[in-house]
Structure 1
Amino acid sequence: MRAGVPGGRHVAGPGRYETLVRVGQREGVAMLTFTCPERAADVVPNQPEQRYLRMLSEGLSQAHGWSPARCRRYFASCGVDDAVA
């Protein structure tokens, strides 16, 4: 996986989350994520579900010691409305 994704993007199939995108590199290792096949500029963004925000909050808390209030402020700075994570 050191080489990552040639061209930075690879569509693995027709599904909703079958597009692999290289988002950067850390310590010589490619950082990858799965997403939808459409480009961000081509879709209307939706607000994330509360259970998804709770999962992100748990990760931020465990990895960085963030409080729920800090997570809510962060989500609000990203344009998330009414985050109760």
Structure 2
Amino acid sequence: MTRANFDTPDGEDIDIDSDDVTHLSLGQDEGTTVIELEDGSEVVVVATQLEVAAELGLNPLDYVDPEDDDESLEDLVDKPLDDEDVA
């Protein structure tokens, strides 16, 4: 169980327990994420989906829909080498 503290768009702090998270989705405002909890409630935080997943120790592949991903995972992975760069 991992707990993390996030800011809400209203400037409040909220603690989230990773065991309570069921899904992450894009918030209406840029740079926000909706965290869906087991009890059916939703919390909007000021962080990207990947930041939320990382802070809570969650696998983004299990909690973030690829079409909703606000940060391309491809941008975080090194680009393959060109054929001429390989010895």
Q: Which TM-score band applies after superposition, normalised by the shorter structure?
A: under 0.3
| TM-score after normalising by structure 1 | 0.27
Larger relative contact order (Cα-Cα within 8 Å, sequence gap ≥ 6)? 2
| TM-score after normalising by structure 2 | 0.27
